[in-house]
Chain A
Amino acid sequence: MDFDRGLIGGSALLMVLSLLHERDMYGYEIIKELEERSKNVFRFKEGTLYPVLHRMENMSYVKSYRKEAENGKERKYYSITAAGEKQLQEEKQKWHSFAVSVNMVIGGNAYGLQGV
Protein backbone atom coordinates (compact mmCIF):
# COMPACT_ATOMS: atom_id res chain seq x y z
CA MET A 1 0.00 0.00 0.00
CA ASP A 2 1.46 3.37 -0.99
CA PHE A 3 -0.04 6.71 0.10
CA ASP A 4 1.72 8.89 -2.41
CA ARG A 5 0.32 12.29 -1.49
CA GLY A 6 1.13 15.63 0.00
CA LEU A 7 1.81 16.23 3.64
CA ILE A 8 -0.40 19.29 3.73
CA GLY A 9 -3.21 18.84 6.20
CA GLY A 10 -4.30 15.50 7.69
CA SER A 11 -2.09 14.07 10.38
CA ALA A 12 1.10 15.82 9.28
CA LEU A 13 1.21 18.00 12.39
CA LEU A 14 0.93 15.01 14.71
CA MET A 15 3.60 13.00 12.90
CA VAL A 16 6.13 15.80 12.52
CA LEU A 17 5.70 17.02 16.11
CA SER A 18 6.08 13.41 17.33
CA LEU A 19 9.42 13.09 15.53
CA LEU A 20 10.67 16.45 16.77
CA HIS A 21 9.58 15.49 20.29
CA GLU A 22 12.33 12.85 20.15
CA ARG A 23 15.11 15.01 18.70
CA ASP A 24 15.84 18.04 16.52
CA MET A 25 15.83 17.23 12.80
CA TYR A 26 16.16 18.90 9.43
CA GLY A 27 13.63 18.52 6.59
CA TYR A 28 15.25 15.68 4.67
CA GLU A 29 15.79 13.73 7.89
CA ILE A 30 12.11 14.12 8.81
CA ILE A 31 10.97 12.80 5.41
CA LYS A 32 13.29 9.79 5.56
CA GLU A 33 12.31 9.03 9.16
CA LEU A 34 8.60 9.14 8.25
CA GLU A 35 9.16 6.77 5.31
CA GLU A 36 11.28 4.39 7.34
CA ARG A 37 8.96 4.21 10.34
CA SER A 38 5.93 3.64 8.11
CA LYS A 39 7.85 0.89 6.23
CA ASN A 40 7.56 3.05 3.11
CA VAL A 41 3.75 3.17 3.37
CA PHE A 42 4.00 6.97 3.60
CA ARG A 43 5.85 8.19 0.52
CA PHE A 44 5.39 11.92 0.42
CA LYS A 45 6.03 14.48 -2.22
CA GLU A 46 8.95 15.72 -0.23
CA GLY A 47 8.51 19.44 -0.91
CA THR A 48 5.12 19.38 0.80
CA LEU A 49 6.88 19.07 4.17
CA TYR A 50 8.17 22.63 4.04
CA PRO A 51 4.89 24.56 4.10
CA VAL A 52 3.99 22.39 7.12
CA LEU A 53 7.26 23.17 8.89
CA HIS A 54 7.05 26.88 8.09
CA ARG A 55 3.43 27.04 9.31
CA MET A 56 4.49 25.28 12.52
CA GLU A 57 7.24 27.85 12.93
CA ASN A 58 4.78 30.71 12.34
CA MET A 59 2.57 29.19 15.05
CA SER A 60 5.59 28.93 17.38
CA TYR A 61 5.28 25.14 17.64
CA VAL A 62 8.85 24.81 16.41
CA LYS A 63 11.87 27.03 16.07
CA SER A 64 14.70 26.64 13.60
CA TYR A 65 18.44 27.09 13.69
CA ARG A 66 21.36 26.16 11.47
CA LYS A 67 23.81 23.49 12.52
CA GLU A 68 26.33 21.17 10.95
CA ALA A 69 24.70 17.80 10.25
CA GLU A 70 26.31 14.38 10.61
CA ASN A 71 27.32 14.47 6.95
CA GLY A 72 29.40 17.59 7.68
CA LYS A 73 27.06 19.91 5.78
CA GLU A 74 25.16 22.73 7.42
CA ARG A 75 21.41 22.18 7.58
CA LYS A 76 18.35 24.00 8.96
CA TYR A 77 17.22 22.10 12.03
CA TYR A 78 13.80 22.29 13.65
CA SER A 79 13.28 22.03 17.37
CA ILE A 80 9.95 21.58 19.17
CA THR A 81 8.93 24.38 21.58
CA ALA A 82 6.85 24.22 24.76
CA ALA A 83 3.83 25.35 22.71
CA GLY A 84 4.62 22.54 20.24
CA GLU A 85 4.73 19.96 23.05
CA LYS A 86 1.32 21.13 24.23
CA GLN A 87 -0.06 20.96 20.69
CA LEU A 88 1.38 17.47 20.30
CA GLN A 89 -0.66 16.27 23.28
CA GLU A 90 -3.81 17.82 21.79
CA GLU A 91 -3.13 16.23 18.40
CA LYS A 92 -2.64 12.84 20.06
CA GLN A 93 -5.97 13.20 21.84
CA LYS A 94 -7.70 14.13 18.58
CA TRP A 95 -6.12 11.21 16.78
CA HIS A 96 -7.14 8.82 19.51
CA SER A 97 -10.76 9.98 19.39
CA PHE A 98 -10.76 9.75 15.60
CA ALA A 99 -9.29 6.24 15.52
CA VAL A 100 -11.70 4.95 18.16
CA SER A 101 -14.64 6.45 16.26
CA VAL A 102 -13.56 4.92 12.93
CA ASN A 103 -13.15 1.52 14.59
CA MET A 104 -16.60 1.76 16.07
CA VAL A 105 -18.06 2.51 12.63
CA ILE A 106 -16.28 -0.35 10.86
CA GLY A 107 -16.98 -2.73 13.71
CA GLY A 108 -13.40 -3.37 14.74
CA ASN A 109 -11.75 -2.64 18.03
CA ALA A 110 -9.28 -0.01 19.04
CA TYR A 111 -6.46 -2.48 19.36
CA GLY A 112 -3.13 -0.81 20.03
CA LEU A 113 -4.59 2.61 20.75
CA GLN A 114 -4.80 2.26 24.53
CA GLY A 115 -1.31 3.60 24.96
CA VAL A 116 -1.84 6.67 22.78
Chain B
Amino acid sequence: MGCREYKYTEEVLKYVRFKYDRIDIRQELNEHIEDMLEFAPEMNEEETEAYIRENMGDAEALGKELDKEHKPLLGWIWRISRAMAMVIAVLCIPTVINMALLSVYTAHNVIVGYDGWRSKEGIEYTVETNIKGKIDDIYILVDGVDKYENGKMVLKYKTIHNPFGKSAGWTFSFGNFYDEFGTRYYGGGGSGGGYVSYQVADINDFNPDAQKLIIDYNYNGRIFYAEIPLEWEAVK
Protein backbone atom coordinates (compact mmCIF):
# COMPACT_ATOMS: atom_id res chain seq x y z
CA MET B 1 0.00 0.00 0.00
CA GLY B 2 1.49 3.37 -0.98
CA CYS B 3 1.87 6.37 1.29
CA ARG B 4 0.82 9.88 0.42
CA GLU B 5 3.45 12.23 -0.98
CA TYR B 6 5.20 14.84 1.14
CA LYS B 7 6.97 17.96 -0.10
CA TYR B 8 9.70 17.30 2.44
CA THR B 9 10.59 13.91 0.95
CA GLU B 10 10.59 15.28 -2.60
CA GLU B 11 12.98 18.02 -1.49
CA VAL B 12 15.30 15.44 0.11
CA LEU B 13 15.29 13.38 -3.09
CA LYS B 14 16.41 16.35 -5.21
CA TYR B 15 19.87 15.87 -3.67
CA VAL B 16 20.03 12.14 -4.37
CA ARG B 17 21.58 11.95 -7.84
CA PHE B 18 21.13 8.22 -8.48
CA LYS B 19 17.50 8.28 -9.53
CA TYR B 20 17.00 4.49 -9.44
CA ASP B 21 17.44 4.51 -5.64
CA ARG B 22 14.99 7.36 -5.16
CA ILE B 23 11.98 5.03 -5.25
CA ASP B 24 13.13 3.02 -2.23
CA ILE B 25 14.26 6.09 -0.31
CA ARG B 26 10.96 7.87 -1.00
CA GLN B 27 9.01 4.88 0.26
CA GLU B 28 11.06 4.49 3.41
CA LEU B 29 10.95 8.18 4.34
CA ASN B 30 7.23 8.48 3.60
CA GLU B 31 6.52 5.41 5.71
CA HIS B 32 8.51 6.93 8.58
CA ILE B 33 6.58 10.20 8.24
CA GLU B 34 3.32 8.28 8.17
CA ASP B 35 4.20 6.56 11.47
CA MET B 36 5.32 9.87 12.94
CA LEU B 37 2.11 11.70 11.99
CA GLU B 38 -0.04 9.00 13.51
CA PHE B 39 0.73 10.41 16.95
CA ALA B 40 0.83 14.08 15.89
CA PRO B 41 -1.97 16.57 16.58
CA GLU B 42 -4.47 17.52 13.86
CA MET B 43 -2.79 19.89 11.38
CA ASN B 44 -3.39 21.46 8.01
CA GLU B 45 -1.02 20.73 5.11
CA GLU B 46 1.29 23.65 5.79
CA GLU B 47 1.53 22.84 9.47
CA THR B 48 2.13 19.19 8.64
CA GLU B 49 5.08 20.01 6.39
CA ALA B 50 6.53 22.29 9.07
CA TYR B 51 6.08 19.53 11.66
CA ILE B 52 7.80 17.01 9.41
CA ARG B 53 10.71 19.37 8.80
CA GLU B 54 11.08 20.06 12.50
CA ASN B 55 11.18 16.37 13.40
CA MET B 56 13.01 14.92 10.43
CA GLY B 57 15.70 17.61 10.11
CA ASP B 58 16.94 19.79 7.28
CA ALA B 59 15.93 18.32 3.90
CA GLU B 60 19.03 19.49 2.05
CA ALA B 61 21.42 18.11 4.70
CA LEU B 62 19.59 14.77 4.76
CA GLY B 63 19.49 14.60 0.95
CA LYS B 64 23.23 15.24 0.70
CA GLU B 65 24.01 12.60 3.34
CA LEU B 66 21.82 10.06 1.55
CA ASP B 67 23.48 10.95 -1.75
CA LYS B 68 26.85 9.92 -0.25
CA GLU B 69 25.42 6.43 0.39
CA HIS B 70 23.80 6.15 -3.04
CA LYS B 71 26.62 7.26 -5.33
CA PRO B 72 25.68 7.14 -9.03
CA LEU B 73 28.92 5.40 -10.07
CA LEU B 74 28.50 2.54 -7.58
CA GLY B 75 24.80 2.38 -8.39
CA TRP B 76 25.48 2.00 -12.09
CA ILE B 77 28.21 -0.60 -11.50
CA TRP B 78 25.74 -2.57 -9.37
CA ARG B 79 22.93 -2.29 -11.94
CA ILE B 80 25.18 -3.19 -14.91
CA SER B 81 26.73 -6.14 -13.02
CA ARG B 82 23.28 -7.42 -12.13
CA ALA B 83 22.07 -7.07 -15.73
CA MET B 84 25.17 -8.88 -17.03
CA ALA B 85 24.73 -11.66 -14.49
CA MET B 86 21.13 -12.10 -15.67
CA VAL B 87 22.18 -12.18 -19.35
CA ILE B 88 24.91 -14.73 -18.59
CA ALA B 89 22.43 -16.82 -16.59
CA VAL B 90 19.95 -16.82 -19.51
CA LEU B 91 22.70 -17.69 -22.00
CA CYS B 92 23.84 -20.53 -19.77
CA ILE B 93 20.42 -22.19 -19.58
CA PRO B 94 20.93 -24.29 -22.80
CA THR B 95 24.36 -25.36 -21.55
CA VAL B 96 22.96 -26.37 -18.18
CA ILE B 97 20.15 -28.35 -19.85
CA ASN B 98 22.68 -29.98 -22.17
CA MET B 99 24.93 -30.91 -19.26
CA ALA B 100 21.96 -32.38 -17.41
CA LEU B 101 20.94 -34.46 -20.44
CA LEU B 102 24.51 -35.62 -21.02
CA SER B 103 24.72 -36.63 -17.35
CA VAL B 104 21.57 -38.72 -17.74
CA TYR B 105 22.95 -40.35 -20.93
CA THR B 106 26.22 -41.01 -19.13
CA ALA B 107 24.50 -42.69 -16.20
CA HIS B 108 22.48 -44.80 -18.64
CA ASN B 109 25.58 -45.73 -20.66
CA VAL B 110 27.56 -46.78 -17.61
CA ILE B 111 24.70 -49.05 -16.51
CA VAL B 112 24.09 -50.59 -19.93
CA GLY B 113 27.73 -50.67 -21.13
CA TYR B 114 28.38 -52.26 -24.53
CA ASP B 115 25.29 -54.41 -24.28
CA GLY B 116 23.18 -51.49 -25.45
CA TRP B 117 24.99 -51.51 -28.79
CA ARG B 118 25.89 -55.07 -29.61
CA SER B 119 24.28 -58.42 -28.96
CA LYS B 120 26.15 -60.98 -26.90
CA GLU B 121 24.36 -63.67 -28.86
CA GLY B 122 26.69 -65.50 -31.21
CA ILE B 123 30.03 -64.33 -29.82
CA GLU B 124 32.54 -67.15 -30.21
CA TYR B 125 35.86 -65.50 -29.44
CA THR B 126 37.08 -62.37 -27.76
CA VAL B 127 40.27 -60.37 -27.26
CA GLU B 128 40.64 -58.09 -24.27
CA THR B 129 42.85 -55.01 -24.54
CA ASN B 130 43.77 -52.10 -22.36
CA ILE B 131 44.82 -49.49 -24.91
CA LYS B 132 44.56 -45.83 -23.94
CA GLY B 133 44.93 -42.68 -25.98
CA LYS B 134 43.73 -39.11 -26.31
CA ILE B 135 42.40 -36.96 -29.14
CA ASP B 136 41.82 -33.30 -28.27
CA ASP B 137 40.27 -33.46 -24.82
CA ILE B 138 38.72 -36.91 -25.34
CA TYR B 139 40.24 -39.93 -23.63
CA ILE B 140 39.88 -43.16 -25.62
CA LEU B 141 39.98 -46.59 -23.97
CA VAL B 142 39.96 -49.60 -26.28
CA ASP B 143 38.56 -52.55 -24.32
CA GLY B 144 38.71 -55.33 -26.90
CA VAL B 145 37.23 -57.12 -29.89
CA ASP B 146 34.49 -59.73 -30.10
CA LYS B 147 34.28 -62.24 -32.97
CA TYR B 148 30.93 -63.73 -33.95
CA GLU B 149 29.99 -67.08 -35.48
CA ASN B 150 29.37 -65.40 -38.85
CA GLY B 151 32.89 -63.91 -38.88
CA LYS B 152 31.82 -60.37 -37.97
CA MET B 153 34.12 -58.55 -35.56
CA VAL B 154 33.03 -55.88 -33.12
CA LEU B 155 35.53 -53.43 -31.66
CA LYS B 156 34.60 -52.12 -28.21
CA TYR B 157 35.93 -48.79 -26.98
CA LYS B 158 34.95 -45.99 -24.63
CA THR B 159 35.33 -42.25 -25.18
CA ILE B 160 35.49 -40.08 -22.09
CA HIS B 161 34.76 -36.38 -22.50
CA ASN B 162 35.66 -33.54 -20.17
CA PRO B 163 32.26 -32.03 -19.14
CA PHE B 164 33.77 -28.55 -19.40
CA GLY B 165 35.84 -29.23 -22.51
CA LYS B 166 35.16 -28.27 -26.11
CA SER B 167 34.12 -31.79 -27.08
CA ALA B 168 31.57 -32.25 -24.29
CA GLY B 169 28.58 -31.99 -26.63
CA TRP B 170 29.66 -34.25 -29.47
CA THR B 171 30.66 -37.84 -30.04
CA PHE B 172 33.91 -39.09 -31.48
CA SER B 173 33.93 -42.41 -33.36
CA PHE B 174 36.43 -44.42 -35.36
CA GLY B 175 35.28 -45.22 -38.90
CA ASN B 176 38.19 -46.94 -40.66
CA PHE B 177 40.25 -49.94 -39.63
CA TYR B 178 43.07 -51.89 -41.26
CA ASP B 179 44.79 -55.23 -41.12
CA GLU B 180 48.55 -55.72 -41.34
CA PHE B 181 48.28 -56.09 -45.11
CA GLY B 182 46.90 -52.60 -45.46
CA THR B 183 43.35 -53.59 -46.33
CA ARG B 184 40.86 -50.99 -45.16
CA TYR B 185 37.57 -51.87 -43.46
CA TYR B 186 34.74 -49.52 -42.68
CA GLY B 187 33.34 -49.93 -39.20
CA GLY B 188 29.82 -48.69 -38.71
CA GLY B 189 28.32 -49.14 -35.29
CA GLY B 190 26.63 -47.41 -32.46
CA SER B 191 27.41 -45.28 -29.48
CA GLY B 192 25.77 -43.56 -26.57
CA GLY B 193 26.08 -39.85 -25.93
CA GLY B 194 27.18 -38.43 -22.61
CA TYR B 195 30.48 -37.84 -20.98
CA VAL B 196 31.32 -41.56 -20.99
CA SER B 197 30.26 -43.10 -24.27
CA TYR B 198 30.39 -46.85 -24.84
CA GLN B 199 30.96 -47.43 -28.55
CA VAL B 200 31.07 -50.41 -30.88
CA ALA B 201 32.29 -50.67 -34.47
CA ASP B 202 31.09 -53.58 -36.61
CA ILE B 203 33.84 -54.82 -38.93
CA ASN B 204 32.63 -57.20 -41.61
CA ASP B 205 34.56 -59.43 -44.00
CA PHE B 206 37.82 -59.15 -42.09
CA ASN B 207 40.63 -61.13 -43.71
CA PRO B 208 40.74 -64.48 -41.82
CA ASP B 209 44.52 -64.69 -42.35
CA ALA B 210 45.16 -61.30 -40.74
CA GLN B 211 46.60 -61.39 -37.23
CA LYS B 212 46.18 -57.72 -36.32
CA LEU B 213 43.40 -55.17 -36.25
CA ILE B 214 44.87 -51.72 -36.70
CA ILE B 215 43.30 -48.41 -35.73
CA ASP B 216 45.10 -45.67 -37.64
CA TYR B 217 43.36 -42.34 -37.13
CA ASN B 218 45.20 -39.32 -38.47
CA TYR B 219 43.21 -36.21 -39.23
CA ASN B 220 44.51 -32.66 -39.12
CA GLY B 221 47.41 -33.72 -36.94
CA ARG B 222 45.14 -35.52 -34.45
CA ILE B 223 46.55 -39.02 -34.23
CA PHE B 224 45.49 -42.26 -32.61
CA TYR B 225 47.28 -45.45 -33.54
CA ALA B 226 46.84 -48.89 -32.04
CA GLU B 227 47.60 -52.44 -33.15
CA ILE B 228 45.44 -55.12 -31.61
CA PRO B 229 46.91 -58.65 -31.90
CA LEU B 230 43.99 -60.95 -32.58
CA GLU B 231 44.88 -63.61 -30.06
CA TRP B 232 41.40 -65.02 -29.68
CA GLU B 233 40.10 -66.58 -26.55
CA ALA B 234 37.04 -68.76 -26.77
CA VAL B 235 33.91 -67.46 -25.06
CA LYS B 236 32.20 -70.07 -22.94
Which residues of A come within 8 Å of B, CB atoms?
6, 8, 26-28, 31, 45-48, 50-51, 54-55, 58, 71, 73-76
Contact = CB atoms under 8 A, between A and B. Distances in A.
B168 interface: no
B36 A45 contact: no
Interface residues of B, number: 24
Contacts of B69: 51, 54-55, 58
Contacts of A71: 35
B55 A76 contact: no
Contacts of A54: 66, 69-70
Contacts of B31: 26-28, 73, 75-76
Contacts of A51: 62, 65-66, 68-69
B62 A27 contact: no
A6 to B, nearest CB: 6
B229 interface: no
A48 B65 contact: yes
Given A27-B28, A75-B31, A46 B65 contact: no
Interface string B23-55: 011011101101110000000000000000001
A108 to B, nearest CB: 33
Interface string B53-66: 00111110110011
Given A46-B55, A55-B68, A55-B69, 12 more contacts: A8-B65, A27-B31, A46-B36, A46-B57, A47-B29, A47-B59, A48-B65, A50-B66, A51-B65, A51-B66, A51-B68, A76-B27
Q: Which 6 residue pairs of A and B lie closest in terms of their CB atoms, listed nearest first?
A: A45-B57, A51-B65, A47-B56, A54-B69, A28-B35, A47-B62
Contacts of A76: 24, 27-28, 31
Contacts of A28: 31-32, 35-36
Given A6-B57, A45-B55, A73-B1, A50 B70 contact: no
A47 B25 contact: no
Nearest to B59: A47
Nearest to B67: A51
